[in-house]
Structures are given as structure tokens and as C-alpha cells.
Amino acid sequence: MKQKRLLVGISGASGMPIAVELLRALKVSQTEVHLICTDSAVKTLSLETDNPINEIQSLADAVYDSHNIGASPASGSFPMDGMAVVPCSMKTLAGIHSGYSDNLLLRAADVTLKERRKLVLVTRECPLSNIHLRNMYEVSQAGAVILPPVLSYYNRPQSVEEMTRHIVGKILDQFEIEFNEFRRWEG
Ligand SMILES: Cc1cc2nc3c(=O)[nH]c(=O)nc-3n(C[C@H](O)[C@H](O)[C@H](O)COP(=O)(O)O)c2cc1C
């Protein structure tokens, strides 16, 4: 099977352990990962985890400065199998919703939609305002998959780490990438 090439965007919403676990799983699956972190993502990562940013970046095959709007993912001619924004802040959601691409993550998401490639947004906020709900609805109408990191109990998680891995499994399912640690419902 052809090796997949995925763009991972990390924005500054809560949920950094999900992004870290996703990058680890993608490494194991031998997916080629291209990574863009916003400035707020770097700050939130330092507040929510003990993982230094360079450790996270070392899990990716290519890392881009979010200010470098001339980097490869800014163009639709750069082949990609899709993009996941994990977690996706309400600000980044709003940028994608309006096509206001003032950083590389937003531009890459805009390109992903225009090229009709898969865009998965792990949107995170609680509770949600009408603005957030409208943006999610309309971005979904535009072709994105809205995949909020909601808790699930049917898989009987024994730890936060297990819940995190479950969400990672749901994200990877969207790209048809195998993840051995994902416990599926089997009735
Ligand atoms: C610890 C922490 C947690 C945050 N959690 C959220 C969140 O869950 N959802 C959200 O939309 N913004 C959250 N924010 C605010 C965003 O980081 C902020 O809106 C930022 O401007 C987003 O920028 P970005 O989308 O370019 O990364 C959080 C900020 C911090 C410091």
C-alpha cells in the first residue's frame, strides 16, 4: 500500500495530549507527517504537557513555521492525502470558516478544502456559542469533518490516556489508518 502523507495542524485549544498521541500513532503507522503548530499551540502545549516542542516536532517528517505562508503546504500543487487540525481552536475554526488564511495552518486548511481533500477538525470548546455552532455547521457543509474530542464510555476506558487513544482512533479512522490501540465496539 502507498505510504500516506498527512498534514497535522496543532492550534491553541485545550487537548495537547491528543495531538501528541496522534503524532506517536502516525509515526508507528509510518505515515509521512507534515506539521504546523500555531504560536498559541506552542504556549498551550507547555501549559498542558511536559513535552517540549522539539520532542513533538521530532515525531514529524517535516515541520513548518506557521508564519511561513510560502511553505509547500500553502499550495494545492503539493500533494497531500488530507489534513487534521488537532485540537482546533474556535479562532482557527473561524479562520477556516471565513477563508481568512493569515497563517500557514489556515492557508493549508483552505487549500485542503479547495482541493476537495479530507479535512478533519477536532474542534474543542465547552460550552459552545451560536457562533461556534454556526461555524462548525457551515464548515461541515463545505466538506470538513467535525470531530470534537467528546468522551465515550462504551469502550469502558480505565484512564484518561485510554480516552485520549480512543479519540486518536476516531481521527485515524477518518484517514483509514490502522491503530492497534483503538478498541472498537463489537456488540
Ligand atoms: C491553556 C489554554 C487552553 C485553551 N483552550 C481553548 C479551547 O479549548 N478552545 C479554544 O477555542 N481556545 C482555547 N484557548 C484559547 C486559544 O489558545 C486562543 O484563542 C488562541 O488565540 C488561538 O489561536 P490559534 O487558533 O491561532 O492557535 C486556550 C488557551 C490556553 C492558554
Domain range list for the chain: 5-174
Q: Which of 89, 129, 133 gets mutated to test ligand 1 (max ligand atoms within 8 A of its CB)?
A: 89
Is the C-beta atom of 122 inside 6 A of ligand 1? Answer: no
- What is this structure's pTM? 0.97
Our answer on whether the CB atom of 14 is closer than 6 Å to any ligand 1 atom is: yes
41 lines ligand 1 (CB under 6 A): yes
Q: How far apart are the first and last CA of the chain?
A: 30
| Domain boundaries 5-174, corresponding CATH code | 3.40.50.1950
61-119 pLDDT, tens digit per residue, is 999 999 999 999 999 999 999 999 999 999 999 999 999 999 999 999 999 999 999 99
Q: At what angle do helices 90-98 and 130-141 cross, to 10 degrees?
A: 50
Residue 89 beta carbon below 6 angstroms from any ligand 1 atom: yes
Look at strands 118-123 and 62-65 and give their pairing.
unpaired
* Closest residue CA from atom 28 of ligand 1: 13
44 ligand 1 Cβ < 6 A: yes
Q: Whose CA is nearest to atom 22 of ligand 1?
A: 12
Handedness of CA 172, 178, 182, 183 (dihedral sign): positive
- Residues 6 or more apart whose CB falls under 8 angstroms from that of 122 comprise 15, 18, 84, 85, 86, 87, 88, 147, 148, 149, 167, 171
Cα–Cα distance between 130 and 74 in angstroms, integer? 30
Confidence category of residue 182, pLDDT binned at 50, 70, 90: confident
Contact 13 CB / ligand 1 (< 6 Å): yes
| Band of residue 1 on the pLDDT scale cut at 50, 70, 90 | low
- Atom 19, ligand 1: residue with shortest CA distance: 91
For residue range 39-53, list pLDDT tens digits in order. 999 999 999 999 999
CA 116 to chain centre: 17
**What are the φ and ψ backbone dihedral angles of 91, each rounded to 5 degrees?**
-70, -45
Query: What does the alpha-carbon distance between residue 168 and residue 93 come to, in Å, rounded to a whole number?
Result: 19
Neighbours of 95 (CB within 10 A): 23
